[in-house]
Amino acid sequence: MIDLARRLDQRVAVVMGGATGIGAASVARLRAEGAIVVAAGLQQDQLDQVALKTGAVARVCDVTQESQVQKLIQYVTEEHGRLDVLVNAVGIVFEDDVAVIDDVVWSKTMEVNLTGTMRACRAVIPSLLKAGKGAIVNIASVAAFNATAGMASYAASKAGIVALTRSLANRYGEYGVRANCICPGWVRTPMSEQEMTVIAASQGITVAQAFADRGARNALRRVAAPAEVAAVVAFLASDDASYVTGAALVVDGGSRTAAAARGI
């Protein structure tokens, strides 16, 4: 029997995007498993709420600013002497299409989702190499594989995260550093609430009905809770995943399975 309260005992973890959604749930799960966690994000008030609930440390950090990312990682390593786990859960989404895509939207999406993830990974590599071990868990999306209409920049950025993660895994695996990514389907987060609000308005239904409709399309017939994705984050961060690296783990309730069964 695995003692989850000790699986990540005294590991030092940074969760980028730790204020809301999957990031906040990951902070809570890593703390529950014994990790020392720094929750980083843009909104101090939201970070403070997460810190109050979980016992994490809240730090403001904008992943589009290289100096802030470097300062955060320097703070963590100086404060705790090391860094064991990085979770990248920062993300934004805009509805767009290649034929009419706006360069500003494309650039902003890439800057936050893909380049922001790269900056955090780049900043922690020296510490992980010095320790001779460590785990990076990047949050991508099932959209990296099933890019639906109107999701051009988002899907491209998430596919980039998959490729970035595999490159990291291949480059640094021999030094004990593991890099994996999670590709969630629909998850009940503030970001998906915004998406569902738009969908609901266009279809003349409620947000709850929009979520239910999306959930009905997968094998489990429901949308995920952030904690369910956070559980996978904790697994990949732990020694239980000691031989897992370069993986793009799909956590979508069987959406791709259900689509295949319908011949889509």
Q: What is the CATH number of the domain that holds 236?
A: 3.40.50.720
SS3 content of the chain, % helix, strand, coil (to 5): 55, 15, 30
pLDDT, one tens digit per residue, over 175-221 is 999 999 999 998 998 888 888 778 878 888 888 888 888 888 889 99
The mean pLDDT value of the chain amounts to 92
Counting runs of H as helices and runs of E as strands, what totals does the chain give? Answer: 10, 7
**In terms of C-beta density within 10 A (0-12 exposed, 13-18 middle, 19 or more buried), how is residue 52 classed?**
exposed
Please report how the helices 190-203 and 207-215 are oriented relative to each other, as an axis angle in degrees rounded to 10.
Answer: 100
The pLDDT score that the predictor gives to residue 190 is 84
Query: Do β-strands 177-184 and 248-251 pair in parallel, antiparallel, or remain unpaired?
Result: parallel
Query: Rounded to whole angstroms, how far apart are CA atoms 90 and 110?
Result: 11
Q: Which of 60-74, 181-195, 232-246 is the least confident region? A: 181-195
Q: Which of 47-56, 174-183, 249-258 is the least confident region? A: 249-258
Query: Rounded to whole angstroms, how far apart are CA atoms 20 and 187?
Result: 12
Q: Is residue 235 part of a domain?
A: yes
The pLDDT score that the predictor gives to residue 176 is 98
Please report the DSSP string for 135-199 in residue order. Answer: EEEEE--GGGTS--TTBHHHHHHHHHHHHHHHHHHHHHGGGTEEEEEEEE-SB-SHHHHHHHHHH
| Average pLDDT for 81-103 | 94
Number of domains in the chain: 1
Q: Which two tokens stand for residue 129?
A: 């190499």
Query: Rounded to whole angstroms, how far apart are CA atoms 2 and 234?
Result: 13
Q: Is residue 203 part of a domain?
A: no
Question: Which H/E stretch holds residue 37?
Answer: strand 36-41
| Average pLDDT for 26-31 | 98
The pLDDT score that the predictor gives to residue 261 is 47
| Average pLDDT for 39-61 | 98
Query: Do β-strands 12-16 and 85-88 pair in parallel, antiparallel, or remain unpaired?
Result: parallel
Distance, C-alpha 166 to centroid of its chain: 15
Confidence band, pLDDT 50/70/90 cuts, at residue 1: very low
Q: Is residue 229 part of a domain?
A: yes
Q: Is residue 259 part of a domain?
A: no
Confidence band, pLDDT 50/70/90 cuts, at residue 4: low
Q: Is residue 260 part of a domain?
A: no
Nearest to 16 by CA among 58, 79, 48: 58
Whether pLDDT at 256 is above 80 = no
Q: Percentage of the chain with pLDDT > 90?
A: 77
Whether pLDDT at 2 is above 60 = no
pTM, to two decimals: 0.93
Q: Is residue 118 part of a domain?
A: yes
The pLDDT score that the predictor gives to residue 203 is 87
Q: Is residue 104 part of a domain?
A: yes
**Structural domain of 67:** 12-184+225-251
The pLDDT score that the predictor gives to residue 149 is 82
The pLDDT score that the predictor gives to residue 217 is 87
| Average pLDDT for 144-168 | 94
Task: Write out the catalytic residue numbers.
Answer: 154
Q: Percentage of the chain with pLDDT > 70?
A: 95
Please report how the helices 21-32 and 226-237 are oriented relative to each other, as an axis angle in degrees rounded to 10.
Answer: 50
Q: Is residue 121 part of a domain?
A: yes
